[in-house]
Structures are given as C-alpha cells and as structure tokens.
Chain A
Amino acid sequence: QVQLVQSGAEVKKPGASVKVSCKASGYTFTNYAIFWVRQAPGQRLEWMGWINAGNGNTKSSQNFQGRVTITRDTSASITYMELSSLRSEDTAVYYCARDGGGVFSYYMDVWGKGTTVTVSS
C-alpha cells in the first residue's frame, strides 16, 4: 500500500539545522510531488513547500525567508526537508504528504506520521 515513512524525532539547539526524511513506497515515486507541512502546538497546518519528485522542481513558502530546502533522491524514493537557523518557534510536528493531483500541487492524499522537531537551548 502507499506509504510515507518519516525519520524520527529531533531535538536541536537554536541556530542549528534539521533535516527530515520521507521515504515513499507503494507507488511510482517520480509520478507525484511531495508537500511538506508543519503544525506547531495548537496551530493550524502550515504549508512549507513542495517538490516535484519527477523533475526536482521545488517551491517554498516565503514565510520561511529562504530557510527551507527540499530535495529528493529518486534512487531511494526519499524526499528531504531541511530547515536552517532554527528558533524556538520552529518547534512543531513536520509532515510530508503526497500530492493527490500528481504534480499539480493539489490536495494531500497520503500523509506521513509526522516528525517532531523540538528547538530548545
């Protein structure tokens, strides 16, 4: 079945970077895009960015002021999201989700279980 398996929880200090992975299985990786979405405690879901797993094109939210980098490894069917210059407000659960429209940036039809990132000194 279609699955997205994310890497484990991380604890980071302010100013550090974190790299979260998302391994896809059960479908043709390059036929779909992957979204990254985060959810801070008690907050609404926030779109961070998107990568077309086929051609590697990316789009990131301006809210992160260039701190988000999304990449993929097609040989391993893995997508990565790196967030730099971490601050306490980046403490959140980070999700990857598949683009239900293929590569059109539509709805999110399959989600990973989430990766908790805690930023604390």
Chain B
Amino acid sequence: DIAMTQSPDSLAVSLGERATINCKSRQSVLYSSNKKNYLAWYQQKPGQPPKLLIYWASIRESGVPDRFSGSGSGTDFTLTISSLQAEDVAIYYCQQYYRSPPTFGQGTKLEIK
C-alpha cells in the first residue's frame, strides 16, 4: 500500500491569512505516460461526509471556491487556502489513487487562530 503522510496534524490560522497543508506519498503518484498526479484533496466538516475539493493534484472540483488550490508533483503535494474563511474550519485529507488500494493521509485539522 502507498502510505500517505500529512503535515502538520493540526494548524491554526487567522481569518484572511493563508493556510498550507502538506501531503507526502511514500512513492511517486505521477503516472509517466499521461503526466498526471493521482492525488485528491477532501474537506470534512464535523458530522458530515468528506467533500471533494481537488483532483489530479490541482484541478478544482466544480463549485469549490478559488481560494482553494492544489500543487505539487511526484511525492510532495500542497493544499493552499489563500485567505481563510470561518467556514473553512474542517479536517482535510489527501488521497492517492495511483495504485489500489486507494489510501488517505491521516488528516490535518484546520482551526481559526
């Protein structure tokens, strides 16, 4: 299985400031033939299911605010929230779908400072 590790485990950011969450895969999730990174990001609020934010490492899902962006390639990825809003308080997970089984990071809890 491809292990996914996120950092930090928790993060407190002031409203309007930038939040950055990192995700590292134990092996590359970049498929050389199509140059795609098989990496997604999800947001989970308390009592709710996860919500897809980003796929192919940097493609924003329809309806997701443009303050959310994904970057990175190979084994190192980043989710950035450019200007934190109160409604962004949640746990964020990365997931690789390069190889079965799909695996998730342990989650990063984002709070308001």
As a 0/1 sequence over residues 93 to 110 of chain B, the CB contacts with chain A under 8 angstroms (1 = contact) are 101010011111111000
> Which B residues fall within an 8 A CB radius of A?
38, 40, 42, 48-52, 55, 61, 93, 95, 97, 100-107
Within 8 Å CB of B38, what residues of A?
106
Within 8 Å CB of B61, what residues of A?
109
- Could you tell me if A107 and B97 are in contact, using CB atoms closer than 8 angstroms? yes
| Closest A residue to B4 using CB positions | A44
- Could you tell me if B100 and A59 are in contact, using CB atoms closer than 8 angstroms? yes
Main secondary structure of the interface of B (DSSP, over half): loop
Q: Please count how many residues in chain A sit with their CB below 8 Å of the partner chain's CB atoms.
A: 21
Within 8 A of B (CB), among A59-117: 59, 61, 95, 97, 100-101, 105-114
| Closest B residue to A96 using CB positions | B49
- Could you tell me if B95 and A107 are in contact, using CB atoms closer than 8 angstroms? yes
**Least Cβ–Cβ distance between A41 and chain B, in angstroms:** 13
Q: Give the distance in Å from the alpha carbon of A108 to the alpha carbon of B41 in the complex.
A: 10
**Least Cβ–Cβ distance between B45 and chain A, in angstroms:** 12
Within 8 Å CB of A107, what residues of B?
40, 52, 55, 95, 97
Q: Give the distance in Å from the alpha carbon of A46 to the alpha carbon of B107 in the complex.
A: 12
Closest 9 CB pairs of A and B: A111-B49, A107-B40, A107-B55, A45-B104, A47-B102, A47-B101, A106-B97, A44-B106, A109-B52
Q: Give the distance in Å from the alpha carbon of A113 to the alpha carbon of B107 in the complex.
A: 19
Within 8 Å CB of A109, what residues of B?
52, 55, 61
| Closest A residue to B98 using CB positions | A106
- Could you tell me if B49 and A114 are in contact, using CB atoms closer than 8 angstroms? yes
- Could you tell me if B104 and A108 are in contact, using CB atoms closer than 8 angstroms? no
Within 8 Å CB of B55, what residues of A?
100, 106-107, 109
A32 at the binding interface (Cβ < 8 Å): no
A35 at the binding interface (Cβ < 8 Å): yes
Within 8 Å CB of B106, what residues of A?
44
Contact of A105 with B97 at beta-carbon distance under 8 Å, contacts A35-B102, A100-B55 already known: yes
